[in-house]
Amino acid sequence: MREFLLFVAIFLVGFVASDGWTNNSGMAAPRRIHTLFSVECQNYFDWQTVGLMHSFKKSKQPGPITRLLSCTDEEKKKYRGMHLAPTFEVPSMSRHPKTGDWYPAINKPAGVVHWLKHSKEAENVDWVVILDADMIIRGPIIPWELGAEKGRPVAAYYGYLVGCDNILAKLHTKHPELCDKVGGLLAMHIDDLRVFAPMWLSKTEEVREDRDHWATNITGDIYGKGWISEMYGYSFGAAEVGLRHKINENLMIYPGYIPRPDIEPILLHYGLPFSVGNWSFSKLNHHEDGIVYDCNRLFPEPPYPREIQQMESDSNKKRGLLINIECINLLNEGLLWQHKRNGCPKPQWSKYLSFLKSKTFTDLTKPKYPTPASLVMKEDCVQKQPVKVDHVQKQPVKVDRVQKQPVKVDRVQKQPVKVDRVQKQPVKEDLVQKQPVLDELQEPYPKIHTLFSTECTTYFDWQTVGLMHSFRLSGQPGNITRLLSCTDEDLKKYKGHNLAPTHYVPSMSRHPLTGDWYPAINKPAAVLHWLNHVNTDAEYIVILDADMIMRGSITPWEFKAARGRPVSTPYDYLIGCDNVLAKLHTSHPEACDKVGGVIIMHIDDLRKFSMLWLHKTEEVRADRAHYATNITGDIYQSGWISEMYGYSFGAAELQLRHIRSSEILLYPGYAPDPGVHYRVFHYGLEFKVGNWSFDKANWRETDLVNRCWAQFPAPPDPSTLDQSDKDGFARDLLSIECIRTLNEALYLHHKKRNCSDPNLLANPNLDDESEVGVSRKIGKLDESYTGKEDHLSTDSSQESSQAAKEDGIFGSLRLWIIALWVISGLVFLVVIISKFSGRKAKGVRGKHHRIKRRTASYSGFVDRNGQEKYVRDLDASL
């Protein structure tokens, strides 16, 4: 009997084991999954690690996860984040040990190779999922369920890798026809990874060293710096070993993009900036952020789901917005848990924290699973069809960890992909229309340099802080230089040298010959000085004003600028182009263009033009006989816009005709045209949102840069706006975005200056209005600067008088309340004294009576019923 039972037990164990290790096809298929991601010893990667690890646990991803941590010995001595994730340490190859090349992205393939060779964990793995640190997992990533097979890994689509279709692939792999444009999400069998990983590293080094083929038209990298060499190393390495991918463009999505209908992404890649209404997030803003180690500090909270329900009626767009806030909310939830593990004190209650702990949020962030539509592969990529533009739109280029700027989709989109000449299949007509054939000799995108002019005053300093912050967010290619015009005396006292990359220019505010006071002349004078003293390899120059906020890139290729054809924005109030003023100051009045604000000009044109710009400015400024409003359009009739005419007349003299684009610049307070994505806010005029208003002129004498936590008064919350007028609502949202971007810039500036915690500086005697607040909509701390002098400077006279009136009423009311308290106190004292006197007059009673009375008086606290009655009486009295 014992032998029979033993036989049955062995049979059952064998049966269960065989069933557990067999997939649906009946073939043996071990199911051990291991997830990897690569980081470096930086705060930047630490908060990403916290987010990824939290989502890993919450998504119920099977198997273990390992962080491949690349650090130098010096970095490791100061590193604080060893406890953040299961870690396998990898020697840093950021600085290549042989070539000395600085390229941290190579740590990814180098880390994988090192892990395969030296980790015991790698010996007990069947499937490997490779992710980036800046990702949030929404649901289990199970390779075989996604369609991965041995020899056929699954990956996400990276359509911008145009080098797979041209000479780059032919140079770096023997099998260019096998080059797949993939990256991001990688699910691969361990046997394939062992064969492929060394080739991944080798091809990365090879492409990185091939500087002759870094050009944009070859790589798709608009910066032409080889930043995406690691991505090509992956694609070329896979082609070299014969690995063809199953390519999926549905499983991973960038927050900010709209998911396709019936698609459920299981991976969020927050490599690019994204926004919801006036709230926004960009990982680049947190490159040095030690938020993991700052107790109870979170990323700025996004709008709540119910607000999105009201914000967007289109169901698919609404789903995209919900995905956006899910990403940042999961990051913040992960930070909360990490702070708790770090031993931080319990955070104070807030509405947002309550939401993160609510059942609603738990339900919203339950593990997601791919729909059947999500698992459909991109077969046309496997067949090497030409890449459609709409696919490129749906897959932005990821942010390089060194470059710190995302490669913008709109630039990639405008870089046509060459159709493989070996391809025998006919090209569809609609593809030819959308995707022209690329000439291999086509020039790469030209280099750009951005300039803006300021003076040595705090007025220009806060504008500089705002413009520089927006420049970093905008993805604008190339460098930026502040042209700083100062007298020697101003320069001695000036504190803002570190606010921007700066070229110092002698001030011409007081003209050296005429003595005329006209600071606006510094703009053309500074540009001329820069051209004569700086060697630049930029082909195009973008010129802005300091009082601007960039919302996107301004490139010559997008707005069709060319040599001899600059681009600018309409300034239709320059009526002098149509009358006697132009006839007096240019020999080609018919060529006078009413433009200004934003200028995109070829460097050769600028060199010829800049001297004329300065001379014509001096000429118009000196022509006082024609300052009249009906001639210049200047309502002040004081020649303040002479520099603008100097620009237009100088360009007309050379017959430089402009392309006028009304889609670049918008003044806050003006209604936007539907569907236009303006690249620049120009806050040169006063604008209002309801009773709130902003006029930069009111802040001319206020030092917002050197006074810790100084900011502008916060605008209204968008949820309070009237949405019945769509144009007005759109106008107000943009106005709010402008001022909140300025406040966000000032907050980050003060934080960089290591200003003390504003909460510690708060005066407990201040009224509620002056306490530090948080603006959730913008997504940044909004320490409203409410100094008395600044309130007086920003409020209109009507608002100030109304406030004074209200303060007077409040003051009178407060005096009455104080008087009432004093009178009440006096009455109370009189009653007490009279009672005491009455008791004393009655004389002393017997001892027994006193004891009895005392016992009776305390019986309410001893007897349960009496206690309940006492409590009820006490509650009633309260």
* Range 755-783 average pLDDT: 45
**In this predicted model, what pLDDT tens digit does every residue of 192-208 receive, in sequence order?**
999 999 999 999 999 99
Query: Is a pLDDT exceeding 50 seen at residue 240?
Result: yes
* Range 527-538 average pLDDT: 94
Please answer whether residues 39 and 45 qualify as being in contact, where contact means their C-beta atoms are separated by less than 8 angstroms: yes
**What is the model's pLDDT at position 829?**
73
**What is the model's pLDDT at position 444?**
61
Please answer whether residues 641 and 571 qualify as being in contact, where contact means their C-beta atoms are separated by less than 8 angstroms: no
Q: Give helix then strand counts, H and E, for the chain.
A: 31, 26
**In this predicted model, what pLDDT tens digit does every residue of 835-846 receive, in sequence order?**
655 554 444 444
Region for 672 from its dihedrals, namely left if φ exceeds 0, alpha if ψ lies in -120 to 50, beta otherwise = beta
Please answer whether residues 568 and 660 qualify as being in contact, where contact means their C-beta atoms are separated by less than 8 angstroms: yes
DSSP 615-627: HHHHHHHH-GGG-
**What is the model's pLDDT at position 757?**
77
**What is the model's pLDDT at position 870?**
32
**In this predicted model, what pLDDT tens digit does every residue of 125-169 receive, in sequence order?**
999 999 999 999 999 999 999 999 999 999 999 988 999 999 999
* Range 798-824 average pLDDT: 52
Report H helices in 534-602: 556-559, 580-585
> Is the pTM here over 0.85, yes or no?
no
Both structure tokens of 219: 């790589």
* Range 590-603 average pLDDT: 97
Query: Is a pLDDT exceeding 60 seen at residue 265?
Result: yes
Q: How far apart, in whole angstroms, are the C-alpha atoms of residue 401 and residue 179?
A: 24
Please answer whether residues 138 and 61 qualify as being in contact, where contact means their C-beta atoms are separated by less than 8 angstroms: no
Q: What percent of the chain has pLDDT over 70?
A: 76
* Out of 261-265, 563-567, 639-643, 766-770, least confident range: 766-770
Query: Is a pLDDT exceeding 60 seen at residue 552?
Result: yes
Q: CA triplet 212, 216, 221: central angle to 5 degrees?
A: 105
Report H helices in 795-843: 797-841
**DSSP class of residue 135?**
E
Q: How far apart, in whole angstroms, are the C-alpha atoms of residue 545 and residue 464?
A: 10
* Range 557-570 average pLDDT: 96
Please answer whether residues 365 and 330 qualify as being in contact, where contact means their C-beta atoms are separated by less than 8 angstroms: yes
- Report the half-sphere exposure of 5 (CA within 13 A, side-chain side): 2
Q: How far apart, in whole angstroms, are the C-alpha atoms of residue 539 and residue 293?
A: 44
Please answer whether residues 21 and 28 qualify as being in contact, where contact means their C-beta atoms are separated by less than 8 angstroms: yes
Q: How far apart, in whole angstroms, are the C-alpha atoms of residue 285 and residue 815?
A: 49
DSSP 403-430: T-SPPPHHHHHTSPPPPPTT--SPPPHH
Using DSSP's 3-state secondary structure scheme, residue 48 falls into helix
Q: Judge residue 447's burial from the number of C-beta atoms within 10 Å of its C-beta, 0-12 exposed, 13-18 middle, 19 or more buried.
A: middle
DSSP 339-397: HHHTTPPPPPP-HHHHHHTSHHHHHHTSPP---GGGG---HHHHTTPPPPHHHHHTSPP
**What is the model's pLDDT at position 698?**
96
**What is the model's pLDDT at position 835?**
63
DSSP 660-696: E-TTSEE-TTSPPPTT---SEEE--S-EEETTEEE-G
Residue 546's pLDDT band (boundaries 50, 70, 90)? very high
* Out of 25-39, 72-86, 745-759, least confident range: 25-39
If residue 766 lies in a helix (H) or strand (E), which one and from where to where? none
Rg (CA), the chain: 34
Q: How far apart, in whole angstroms, are the C-alpha atoms of residue 418 and residue 479?
A: 30
**What is the model's pLDDT at position 824?**
75
Residue 112's pLDDT band (boundaries 50, 70, 90)? very high
**What is the model's pLDDT at position 627?**
94
Residues in the chain, overall count: 878
Please indicate whether residue 181 or residue 772 has the higher confidence score (pLDDT).
Answer: 181
Residue 3's pLDDT band (boundaries 50, 70, 90)? very low
DSSP-derived pairing of the beta strands 87-91 and 65-71? parallel
**What is the model's pLDDT at position 347?**
93
Task: Find all residues with CB under 8 Å of 201, minimum gap 6, and list them.
Answer: 106, 109, 110, 112, 113, 233, 237
Q: How far apart, in whole angstroms, are the C-alpha atoms of residue 224 and residue 781?
A: 37
Most confident stretch, 172-176, 783-787, 870-874: 172-176
**In this predicted model, what pLDDT tens digit does every residue of 376-392 receive, in sequence order?**
987 643 433 333 333 33
Please indicate whether residue 313 or residue 825 has the higher confidence score (pLDDT).
Answer: 313
Task: Find all residues with CB under 8 Å of 821, minimum gap 6, and list them.
Answer: none
**What is the model's pLDDT at position 311?**
86
Nearest to 182 by CA among 146, 231, 145, 149: 231
Q: How far apart, in whole angstroms, are the C-alpha atoms of residue 437 and residue 421?
A: 10
In Å, what is the CA distance from 765 to each residue of 524, 640, 761, 781, 845? 50, 46, 12, 22, 51
**In this predicted model, what pLDDT tens digit does every residue of 481-518 receive, in sequence order?**
999 999 999 999 999 999 999 999 999 999 999 999 99
Please answer whether residues 160 and 235 qualify as being in contact, where contact means their C-beta atoms are separated by less than 8 angstroms: no
Residue 425's pLDDT band (boundaries 50, 70, 90)? very low
Please answer whether residues 62 and 145 qualify as being in contact, where contact means their C-beta atoms are separated by less than 8 angstroms: no
**In this predicted model, what pLDDT tens digit does every residue of 565-589 receive, in sequence order?**
999 999 999 999 999 999 999 999 9
- The per-residue pLDDT of the chain, averaged, comes to 81
Residue 334's pLDDT band (boundaries 50, 70, 90)? very high
